[in-house]
Every structure is written in structure tokens, then in C-alpha cells.
């Protein structure tokens, strides 16, 4: 149930997550452990200072176990700020690859308005072209990235193919 962590300290829960002996020991135990880690639950007992460590441990565990859908659900609930931005990038990449453009582009547009980090602005170019269909706006955004010194030949090739139909 949602009270699975009741009576467990946050430190103990984190230690259990770091102990990967269960993964691979048996299919039944691996499945049970995956379900426990992925389950939405009341946080373990103890001070909240360890919450970030516990959440990071759960995310790492789910990633190592290949539980992408559970991982995506958990990441979607995280705040849109540090220290979770690397996971948010993973989520956007995953959503774009699975053609969930609306979900991905909502996150991208939010982050692109808050930061100058190249990833978010590259993703904004893709979202502008693919999700909204604004080729001219996407080309303009790509030109700005180039003018700012973003040197990424793979991205340039993708944008050229996407916006102009040129072979990379």
C-alpha cells in the first residue's frame, strides 16, 4: 500500500535502494522490488533533509531496472528546477521519441523561458517546427543558437533535414 515505507527511516530506505542484490536474484523478487520502488507512497520516517537523496535513489534504481514508464511518471511529478533538470531533460527526450510532443513541448517551452541552457533551446527549435508547425520561427531560433556559438553538427544536420529537407 501507500504506507509501504512506514516505520522505515529515510536513511535505511536509501541504503536499501543502493543495495542492488535483489535485482537479478530471482524474477519474482526483482518484480516485487521494482513495484515497491515505483509505487507512490508516503515518505519514510525521519527528517526531510534526506528526501532529495531518497528520490534520487529511487530514480537511479528505476533507471537501472529499465522501468522507463514508472521513471517517466515519477519525473513528471518533480519540480521544474535544480537538481531535477537532468531528469527533466531525459523525460523530454523520451517523450519526443515516443511522439508525445504536446507533453514534451510544454516542458520545453517552460524551461526555454527560464534558462539559456542550449538543450532547452535546441528542443524549442524542434518543438516549434514539429509541434506548432512554425518552420520560420524554428529557423529563426536555430539561427540565434548558431549566432550564440552553439556548435553542434548533429543538431545542425537534424535541423537542416527537418526545416529545409537538406541531407545532413
Q: What is the pLDDT of residue 67?
A: 84
Q: What is the pLDDT of residue 85?
A: 94
Look at the pTM and tell me if it is higher than 0.85.
Answer: no
Q: What is the pLDDT of residue 124?
A: 95
Tell me the average confidence (pLDDT) per consecutive run of 10 residues in the chain, 168 residues long.
Answer: 69 69 64 67 64 83 85 91 93 93 94 92 94 92 90 90 84
Distance CA 58, CA 36 (A): 10
With a CB cutoff of 8 Å and minimum separation 6, the contacts of 80 are 88, 107, 110, 111, 114
Q: Which of 47, 39, 41 is nearest to 9 (CA)?
A: 47
Q: What is the pLDDT of residue 84?
A: 94
Per-residue pLDDT reduced to its tens digit, 112-142:
999 889 999 999 999 999 888 999 999 999 9
3 state DSSP class of 45: strand
Q: What is the pLDDT of residue 42?
A: 65
Amino acid at each position: 500500500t501507500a504506507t509501504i515505507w512506514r516505520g522505515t527511516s529515510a536513511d535505511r530506505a536509501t541504503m536499501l535502494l543502493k543495495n542492488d542484490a535483489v535485482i537479478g536474484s530471482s524474477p519474482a523478487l526483482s518484480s516485487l522490488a521494482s513495484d515497491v520502488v515505483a509505487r507512490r507512497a508516503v515518505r519514510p520516517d525521519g527528517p526531510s533533509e534526506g528526501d532529495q537523496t531518497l528520490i534520487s535513489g529511487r530514480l537511479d534504481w528505476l533507471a537501472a531496472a529499465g522501468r522507463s514508464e514508472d521513471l517517466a511518471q515519477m519525473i513528471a511529478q518533480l519540480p521544474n528546477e535544480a537538481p531535477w533538470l537532468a531528469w527533466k531533460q531525459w523525460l523530454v527526450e523520451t517523450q519526443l521519441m515516443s511522439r508525445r510532443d504536446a507533453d514534451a513541448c510544454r516542458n520545453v517551452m517552460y524551461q526555454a523561458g527560464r534558462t539559456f541552457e542550449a538543450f532547452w533551446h535546441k528542443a524549442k527549435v524542434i518543438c516549434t517546427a514539429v509541434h506548432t508547425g512554425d518552420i520560420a520561427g524554428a529557423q529563426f531560433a536555430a539561427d540565434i543558437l548558431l549566432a550564440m556559438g552553439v556548435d553542434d553538427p548533429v543538431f545542425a544536420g537534424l535541423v537542416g533535414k527537418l526545416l529545409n529537407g537538406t541531407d545532413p
